[in-house]
Amino acid sequence: MPSLNQSAIRTNDKHIYRKPNGIYHYRFNIKDNGSYRSLRLSMYSRCPYEAGALAGLITYRTWISKIMESGLPYSEVRQRLISLFRDILAEHKEGIDKEGLLTEPQKEAYRNTASFGADPTIQPELTHQIAERIGLTSPTDQERKYINQDKPALLQGLTDAVLAYNQSLQQPYTDTTATSTISETVPTTPMKRVSEVFEEFSIDKRAANKLTEKTLAYYRGGLKRFIDAVGDLPINEVDKLIMRQFRDTLTGSDSNKNKRLMGMSSIFTWAIDNDYNINNPFTSSKITIAGHEQGKRDAFNIQEVQQIFKHVENPENTRFKDHHKLICKILAYSGARLNEIAQLYCDDIQEKDGIWFITINDDKPDKSIKNTNAKRVVPLHHAIAAQVIARKRELATGRLFPELTNPKPSYGARYSAWFTTNVKKRLKLRETTTLHSFRHTVATQLQQADIAETVTAQLLGHSRGE
């Protein structure tokens, strides 16, 4: 059996708070006609031990939240929840108050109740009893599923709460806030809201030059969607339920949804690293993507690369211009990202000690890179060096590919569409491949050539070199 303090710590989380009058309350969010409201329940106690014990009765809030989402209006759900909470509380307090402190056999019997939920011989009966207690006299299959899913947690919470209440009667509590396990962890000042934490996150990342303005703008867009969906909450109130609410509002492909979730996760990870006493609800929040959308695009095999080169070099394809052909080859031999090549200037092609290379940077207003690791130099492969150098010398100044005229959303956007229409579809390449597959092909070739992982990472812009 856990000690009294251990029980209090286990049930002590951001949902418990103490009002100025000393009464502890329990708070979490509930769905109401498509939006979410904060539900607050009084624990009717100034004792942190008792409050912690009573909080154990509603540690199964995931189960409750699912029932809330079954379509019941807010008023009815709130009434049922409060009624259930008070009934369970009254039953066990009255039993202990009347009969006295629990004996050791009675304590052991309570501990054994947690195993009832896993006993198939009594599951149907127990499920029916729980359903009746919350007013579901004829529960649907879905409601039964919710009950069966969280029944063990419910019984464990009940057991812990009863034993803790019994222990609190053995050790009467004196209201000394300074030594209270729960009150010590309740913030004395309001926790900053998510938007405020994001501003701190942005300042820190800019100062350390760890994220580009483009990435920060993308994160800010994700934050705006979050606030529009669930509100600008204090960061410690954002839990798994709030995360799921936000995730359900996201639109677009699953890959794009995951990018938004990863952005929010980065903000919360930073907050934790900077001494915010919170959890990161966006951990493991990614959506599982089936099939070719799994975010990990396949590499082209050698036969496909040869097929692509033959196609773009075919003189009968009169619509294929010189820049179309050269960009395709640079991607295939460098492993660079499309926009890194599409935005190059002539002075980005440089030579030192007889070695020609590409410098990838964001040194001009119309250039951007994914992150600071993307700043790098990439040697020009001998198969394309002559063509790239000739173009540089012919143009002398300005952009290396002036044919790509629109920088929004990126110089490479139209080229990507051109490749899909004129190369991928014409050649009937695998659905799991895209123009980005050249990058994976280069990574695969470097690995097969036993190139050190650190060198490969630097060439591809995954890490910084010296």
Condensed to tens digits (0 to 9), the pLDDT of residues 268-295 reads 999 988 888 888 889 877 776 554 444 4
Higher-pLDDT residue of 385 and 184 is: 385
Q: What is the DSSP string of 141-158?
A: HHHHHHHHHHHHHHHHHH
- 186-190, 206-210, 326-330: which has the highest mean pLDDT? 326-330
Nearest by Cα to 27 from 180, 344, 241, 262? 241
> Three-class SS of residue 90?
helix
**Closest Cα partner for 372 from 280, 462, 260, 459?**
462
Give the residue among 39, 45, 42 at the shortest CA–CA distance from 8: 45
Rg (CA), the chain: 31
- Determine if the pTM surpasses 0.75: no
pLDDT more than 90, % of the chain? 26
Once rounded to an integer, what is the mean pLDDT over residues 259-274?
Answer: 91
* Separation of alpha carbons 359 and 291, rounded Å: 36
Distance CA 216, CA 207 (A): 13
For residue 23, the model assigns a pLDDT of 76
CB 131 within 8 A of CB 144: yes
Higher pLDDT, 79 or 311: 311
Q: Name the least confident of 179-188, 312-321, 352-361, 433-442.
A: 179-188
Q: How many CA atoms lie within 13 A of 171 on its CB side?
A: 13
Average pLDDT over residues 14-32: 69
Residues 6+ apart with CB under 8 A from 161: 11, 53, 54, 55, 56, 57, 92
pLDDT of 93 higher than 60: yes
| pLDDT at position 460 | 87
Range of weakest confidence among 66-75, 87-96, 418-427: 66-75
Query: Structure tokens of 335?
Result: 């492993």
Determine the residue type at 17: Y
pLDDT, averaged across the chain: 76
Decide: 12 and 181 in contact? Cβ < 8 Å: yes
- Residues in a beta bridge with 319: none
| pLDDT band, very low/low/confident/very high, at 373 (cuts 50, 70, 90) | confident
State the pLDDT at residue 335.
92
- Reported in sequence order, the residue ranges of 34-127 that DSSP labels E, i.e. its strands, are 35-42
Domains defined along the chain, listed by start: 4-185 (no CATH), 195-291 (1.10.150.130), 302-460 (1.10.443.10)
